């Protein structure tokens, strides 16, 4: 049963991503075990804060290795790494996070919209600017005026 997909790539080239994923999982497991090692372990009867994290970390390492060595070619297209949308989207969140406290909600919103719009090469400056202003107004109305969330609109 084929679900309509929107990109067509050669099948089978997915394996290196599987291996990468599995190794990433195992690596997280190792890091987590290392950190959990510092917490008190305790006994079964009185489980300490480190008990479950340690056990789970070890399990994670094992399963990560299984994922890496498992052959699961299912005629799936390989994923594509698209840098531009990724940077734009993540960048817009970063912009908001950095700006919202010092400069307030309005400026943060006004910056977030254009940064996100970078992902779309066809985006034209005027509609983006209108959208940015519109969103700033809408957000202020919805969150600050209607919901009474205590976010400062500006830098005061």
Partner 1 sequence: MELLHNIALGFQDVLTPTLLFYCAVGTTVGTAIGVLPGIGPLVAISVLFPLTFHVPPDAAIIMLAGIYFGAEYGGSTASILLNLPGTAANAVTCLDGYPMARQGRAGVALFIKTISSFFGGCVALIVLIVLTPLIVKVALNFGSPEYFALMVLGLLAAATLSVASPAKGIAMVILGVLLGLVGTDVNSGQYRYVFGIPDLADGLDLVAVAMGLFGVAEITGRLVSRDFTESPERVRWRSLIAGREDMRRAFFPMIRGSIAGILSGILPGAGPSLGAFLAYGAEKRVSKTPERFGNGAIEGIAAPEAANNASVQAAFIPTLSLGIPGDAVMALILGALIVHGIQPGPSMIPQHPELFWSLVASFWVANVFLMFLNLPLIGIWVRLLSIPYSLLYPAVMVFICVGVYSLRLSVVDVASVLVFGAVGYFMNMCRLPTAPLLLGFILGAPLEEHLRRALIISHGELSVFVTRPIAASILGFCVLLMLGTVVGSLASSARRARLRRSAENAQ
Considering only residues 111 to 140 of the shown chain, the ones binding partner 1 according to CB under 8 A are 112-114, 116-117, 119-120, 122-123, 127-128, 131-132, 135, 139
For residue 5, count other CB atoms closer than 10 A to its CB: 9
81 lies in the binding site for partner 1 (CB under 8 A)? yes
74 lies in the binding site for partner 1 (CB under 8 A)? yes
Shortest distance in whole angstroms from residue 155 CB to partner 1: 15
CA 14/CA 63 separation, integer angstroms: 19
Shortest distance in whole angstroms from residue 116 CB to partner 1: 4
State which H helix or E strand residue 27 sits in. helix 15-36
CA 107/CA 51 separation, integer angstroms: 46
Enumerate the H helices of 37-120 as residue ranges.
Answer: 51-69, 83-103, 105-117
3 lies in the binding site for partner 1 (CB under 8 A)? yes
**Under rule CB under 8 A, which residues in 13-42 are in contact with partner 1?**
14, 17-18, 20-22, 24-25, 28, 32, 35-36, 39-40
Q: Using the minimum distance from each CB to partner 1, give the nearer residue, 10 or 71.
A: 71
8 lies in the binding site for partner 1 (CB under 8 A)? no
Given a contact cutoff of 8 angstroms between Cβ atoms, the answer to whether 19 and 68 are in contact is: yes
Task: Tell me, rounded to whole angstroms, the distance of Cα 4 from its chain centroid.
Answer: 25
Q: Using the minimum distance from each CB to partner 1, give the nearer residue, 94 or 155.
A: 94
């Amino acid at each position: 049963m084929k679900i309509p997909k929107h990109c067509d790539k050669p099948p089978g080239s997915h394996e290196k991503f599987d291996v990468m994923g599995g190794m990433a999982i195992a690596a997280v497991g190792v890091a987590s075990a290392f950190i959990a090692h510092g917490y008190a372990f305790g006994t079964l009867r009185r489980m300490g804060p480190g008990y479950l994290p340690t056990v789970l970390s070890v399990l994670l390492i094992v399963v990560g290795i299984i994922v890496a060595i498992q052959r699961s070619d299912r005629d799936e297209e390989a994923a594509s790494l698209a840098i531009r949308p990724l940077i734009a989207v993540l960048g817009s969140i970063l912009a908001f996070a950095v700006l919202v406290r010092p400069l307030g909600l309005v400026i943060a919103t006004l910056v977030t919209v254009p940064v996100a719009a970078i992902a779309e090469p066809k985006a034209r400056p005027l509609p983006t600017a209108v959208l940015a202003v519109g969103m700033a107004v809408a957000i202020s109305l919805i969150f600050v005026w209607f919901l009474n969330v205590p976010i400062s609109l500006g830098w005061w």
